[in-house]
A and B are shown apart, each in its own frame.
Chain A
Amino acid sequence: MKTKPAVSVSRASLWHIPLAFLVAMALVPVLFALLYSFKSLQSIYGDAGLFTSGFTLDNYRDIARQLPIVQITLNTLTVAVLVTACKLLTSILAAYAFVFTSFRGKTVLYFLLISTIFIPFTVTMIPNYITVSKLNLFDSVLGIVLPQLADATGIFLLRQTMRSIPKSLIEIAELDGISRMRTLRDIILPICRPSIVATGIIFFINSWNEYVWPTLILRSKENYTLSLAMQLFSSSEAGTEFTTVMAMAVISMLIPVVLYLIFQRYIMSTFASSGIKG
């Protein structure tokens, strides 16, 4: 009996070996980018050491000299926050309607909406481009955000979560004369919080890394997002400025990492929790 916990502890430790390997796999590119961003272009060829050829901030200075990097970071953040907030809002409202209300053609409408997930971006790109241009929203943050106010994947994910809420929780609120919006705010949203945070993370990261759509819409460097800015260095006429690209990658990672540290508690609970307890 006494040996049993020891066996399970050693088994748990064994699991850490493949897990550590996976963590290392994920960390290597990050460390690689971080390391190379502080090296000169010349030093990376034939020098695999840490900082044997010297530590430099030139790559960051180059970026700051060539681009309004703070403005670009703010643009990216604005787009990502707006897209995430709007998508979450529309997804929550639509998921609520699909789960807790009944109306004619609900199922058909839902499946029509879900089928839009399978329409590739290239199909909607041109119509969206024409719409945005006719609205005179070219080269603006709003032009990037506008076609991304709703997302069928978000509706699908949140609908699945809301379906797991016992109907009696909503009925008891109805019996107590609580309005639908109040029920959504006080009961449904807190219960769905882990899923909302998870969906929000997906929306934020997707928007943060978005490249094709901003390329079509944005023209002036002041309105660029980070992914566009990085592309400037990776496909410059003088060839790829590898170390500058790595510095841009580090800048691109900065805000998501800070946000991760701030929301770490929620993110961990999001992936650790499932279902309705109690």
Chain B
Amino acid sequence: MSDKNTIVFDHVEKTYQKNTVIRDLNLTIPAGQRLILLGPSGCGKSTTLRMIAGLEEITGGELRMGGRRVNEVPSGKRDIAMVFQNYALYPHMTVRENITYALRVHKLDRAELETRLHSVLEILGLEPYVQRKPRELSGGQRQRVALARALVKQSRYLLLDEPLSNLDAQLRVQARKELVKIHDLYQQTFVYVTHDQVEAMTVGQRVALMNQGVLQMVDTPYRVYNRPANIFTAKFIGSPSTNILDADWADGVLHVQGQQIRLPDCWSWLAERSGEHELCLGIRPEHIRLQAGRAENGLTGTLRYVEDYGNKRGIYVDVGGTEVVCMCDRVPCAPGETVSFQLDSDHLHLFSRTTTNSLGYPDEVTESDDTQWDSREELLSYGTSA
């Protein structure tokens, strides 16, 4: 697969009358990559996909596919295949007719058509159903027919709009694996829209998270989970979502809900260099180790409620009026009693309360990144004194 199959959004905007649904979108999807467009309902992910497909007009900026501006190119000339959420199978055609319809209209050589058809039928296990109509198929089989129809085109780009959302949980897990295998086989540039974060993490090589028409973060599933770029990303990814607590940075100490915490040096340095005083502390429920009673340099609260998930327990702790959720193996004490936890330096997130952006991570931010500090000496002197 050549680099010609790259998709580039260059300051793309989409407006319906006065309502802007996509704002200044800058995104590059490298050739042959599986990119997931993830976000809550109405965030603009499907609109973004439909702009690539040419089904939505672009009202600002430029969309390039294979290095060529395609804003005005009709969808039929973009070399795209698409799988819709409702599969969009022609109800009056058999599986075979559905898969081969476009090829027959474009008068593809019969031998080539048969080769392609049997190849996709074999890969997707659809051979027994070729003469059936869509209404005679199960949800999973219809989804595979829609995928087969997209694959048989052998197009450069494959777009998928929530293709697994109509399947039951068990079938969805199986279909996810199949999709990854198929992509490895065909190596098309693959853009996949979903609101399901598990699907996004398991299928995607990169995840682009969107909210209210604005791209929040584009990175690998690992980094989106472990290095969220902002509060929205931290809260959206993971279930239960990341605990976010208002915190004030003053005198080298973090003040959280009336309690003071001395951060590890590396985090103190990050907080100080940001120049921000109003911060948010983020910590994932699974990274909290609860203990009964009070802990030195930790956050203390009252255990309020316990949910049993079978393998884990969700423990709700009231920390100065803010609810903090913890995922633990065991319950340290009875509801109403005092519990505490220390902040794990490896699993901490600090965000600016004004911009909601992450302050960064100690192992990633280097002095050369710093623009607010005048000199390396000053930075280092802070690091040693903190």
**A residues near B, CB below 8 A?**
166, 168-169, 171-178, 182, 186-187, 190-191, 276-278
Q: A175-B53, A178-B105 are in contact. Are A191 and B76 (CB under 8 A)?
A: no
CB distance from B162 to the nearest CB of A (A): 12
CB distance from A100 to the nearest CB of B (A): 13
Chain B interface size band reads 20 to 34
User: 9 closest A-B pairs (Cβ-Cβ)?
Assistant: A177-B76, A278-B135, A278-B134, A176-B102, A168-B88, A278-B91, A168-B84, A190-B92, A172-B88
- A-contact 0/1 string along B65-100, CB 8 Å cutoff: 000000000111110111011101111100000000
**Cα–Cα distance between A169 and B91 once the two chains are bound (Å):** 9
CB distance from B87 to the nearest CB of A (A): 8
Interface presence of B133 (CB below 8 A):
yes
Q: List, sorted by A's number, 17 A–B pairs whose CB atoms are closer than 8 Å.
A: A168-B85, A168-B86, A168-B88, A171-B84, A172-B84, A174-B74, A174-B75, A174-B76, A175-B75, A176-B102, A176-B106, A177-B102, A178-B76, A191-B90, A276-B91, A277-B91, A278-B142
Interface presence of B55 (CB below 8 A):
yes
**Cα–Cα distance between A187 and B84 once the two chains are bound (Å):** 17
**Cα–Cα distance between A177 and B135 once the two chains are bound (Å):** 25
**B residues near A, CB below 8 A?**
53-55, 74-78, 80-82, 84-86, 88-92, 101-102, 105-106, 133-137, 142, 149, 153
Are A278 and B89 in contact, CB atoms less than 8 angstroms apart? yes
For the residues of A in contact with B, the DSSP-based class is: helix
Q: A174-B75, A177-B76, A278-B135 are in contact. Are A182 and B105 (CB under 8 A)?
A: yes
Cross-interface CB contact of B92 among A166, A175, A191, cutoff 8 Å: A191
**A178 — which chain B residues lie within 8 A by C-beta?**
76, 102, 105
**A190 — which chain B residues lie within 8 A by C-beta?**
92
**Cα–Cα distance between A137 and B265 once the two chains are bound (Å):** 99
CB distance from B37 to the nearest CB of A (A): 18
**Cα–Cα distance between A44 and B188 once the two chains are bound (Å):** 83
Name, among A168, A172, A173, the residue most crowded by chain B CB atoms within 10 Å (CB to CB).
A172
**A191 — which chain B residues lie within 8 A by C-beta?**
90-92
Q: A186-B101, A278-B133 are in contact. Are A176 and B88 (CB under 8 A)?
A: no
**A173 — which chain B residues lie within 8 A by C-beta?**
102
List the B residue with the shortest CB-CB distance to A178. B105
**A169 — which chain B residues lie within 8 A by C-beta?**
88, 90
CB distance from A37 to the nearest CB of B (A): 43
List the A residue with the shortest CB-CB distance to B90. A187
CB distance from A212 to the nearest CB of B (A): 40
Are A172 and B82 in contact, CB atoms less than 8 angstroms apart? yes
CB distance from B129 to the nearest CB of A (A): 13
**B90 — which chain A residues lie within 8 A by C-beta?**
169, 187, 191
Are B105 and A176 in contact, CB atoms less than 8 angstroms apart? yes
Are B91 and A176 in contact, CB atoms less than 8 angstroms apart? no
**B78 — which chain A residues lie within 8 A by C-beta?**
175
**B75 — which chain A residues lie within 8 A by C-beta?**
171, 174-175
Are A166 and B86 in contact, CB atoms less than 8 angstroms apart? yes
**Cα–Cα distance between A172 and B133 once the two chains are bound (Å):** 18
List the A residue with the shortest CB-CB distance to B85. A168
**Cα–Cα distance between A169 and B53 once the two chains are bound (Å):** 14
**A277 — which chain B residues lie within 8 A by C-beta?**
91, 135
**Cα–Cα distance between A278 and B55 once the two chains are bound (Å):** 23
CB distance from B88 to the nearest CB of A (A): 4
CB distance from B134 to the nearest CB of A (A): 4
CB distance from A277 to the nearest CB of B (A): 5
Q: A166-B88, A191-B91 are in contact. Are A175 and B101 (CB under 8 A)?
A: no
List the A residue with the shortest CB-CB distance to B50. A171
**B84 — which chain A residues lie within 8 A by C-beta?**
168, 171-172
Cross-interface CB contact of B80 among A166, A168, A175, A187, cutoff 8 Å: A175
**B91 — which chain A residues lie within 8 A by C-beta?**
191, 276-278
CB distance from B189 to the nearest CB of A (A): 15
CB distance from A210 to the nearest CB of B (A): 34
List the B residue with the shortest CB-CB distance to A277. B135
CB distance from B95 to the nearest CB of A (A): 11
**Cα–Cα distance between A54 and B136 once the two chains are bound (Å):** 58
Cross-interface CB contact of B106 among A174, A175, A177, A186, cutoff 8 Å: A177
**A278 — which chain B residues lie within 8 A by C-beta?**
89, 91, 133-137, 142
**A182 — which chain B residues lie within 8 A by C-beta?**
105
**Cα–Cα distance between A143 and B53 once the two chains are bound (Å):** 49
Name, among B76, B80, B136, the residue most crowded by chain A CB atoms within 10 Å (CB to CB).
B76
List the A residue with the shortest CB-CB distance to B97. A186
**Cα–Cα distance between A216 and B216 once the two chains are bound (Å):** 73
18 additional contacts, CB 8 Å, given A172-B84, A176-B153, A191-B90? A169-B88, A171-B53, A171-B84, A172-B82, A172-B88, A174-B54, A174-B74, A175-B53, A175-B54, A176-B101, A176-B102, A176-B105, A177-B106, A186-B105, A277-B91, A277-B135, A278-B133, A278-B142
